[in-house]
Amino acid sequence: MSSSSGISAGRSVVMALVALLLCVGGGYASWGDAQHVLLSKGRQHGTFSVTACGDKRCAGSFDADGPAAPVSDMTVEQSVAARKGDRFPVVVKPGTHEVVRSDLAGSVHAWVPLGGALLLAGLVIAGGMRLGRFGLVLAAVGVAQLVATFLLL
């Protein structure tokens, strides 16, 4: 094997590891919120009413589905397009006073880190590994996820 083909193979291996690391990191970052939306069976569901918003979080009251009384000290990330007066379906993170949107917009928003990771990994694969079509398809999937989040929220 010549030195140039060895360098090319080494570059491809390193780029594949970088792309894999990006995708695993994006999936791990997304799972924090996505697990509450995807695996919501047995969790407390209800409607969240936004009463005030700060720099990073919005506070409000949570009205559980069923006979439970409303809880007034719940919070949600402001990045889920929450404004004072908004009402949307949520799932409570167990053991906390945080809620996660459980509608379609919240489900798509939970996967934003993975969408960004797919976009970056696609560029690494297309440029670093010289697999243009596969890299562009992967990047397009990431862009589609990010655009869908923008449009739904």
pLDDT in tens, 60-73: 999 998 887 888 88
For the chain, the structural domain boundaries read 3-37+111-152, 41-101
Whether 94 contacts 45, CB under 8 Å: no
- Which CATH architecture group holds 41-101? Beta Barrel (2.40)
pLDDT of residue 48: 93
**Angle at which helices 112-128 and 132-152 pack, to 10 degrees?**
160
- Separation between Cα atoms, residue 71 and residue 77, nearest integer Å: 17
- d(CA 149, CA 80) in angstroms, rounded, equals 9
Residue corresponding to tokens 């193979």: 9
pLDDT at 118: 97
Query: What is residue 19's predicted lDDT score, i.e. its pLDDT?
Result: 97
Contact in structure between 47 and 63 (CB atoms under 8 Å): yes
Question: What local confidence, expressed as pLDDT, does residue 83 receive?
Answer: 82
Q: What is the pLDDT along the chain (153 residues), one digit of tens a residue?
A: 677 888 888 999 999 999 999 999 999 999 988 999 888 888 889 999 999 988 888 999 999 988 878 888 899 887 777 788 889 999 999 889 999 998 898 889 999 999 999 999 999 999 989 899 999 999 999 999 999 999 988
pLDDT of residue 42: 83
pLDDT of 1 reads 60
Q: ∠ CA 19-132-14 to the nearest 5 degrees?
A: 30
Measured between alpha carbons, how far is 153 from 148 in angstroms, rounded to an integer?
A: 8
What tens digit of pLDDT does each residue of 91-121 get?
A: 999 889 999 998 898 889 999 999 999 999 9
- Global pTM value: 0.84
Q: Which of left, alpha, beta for 130 (phi over 0: left; psi -120 to 50: alpha)? A: left
Number of H helices, E strands in the chain: 4, 5
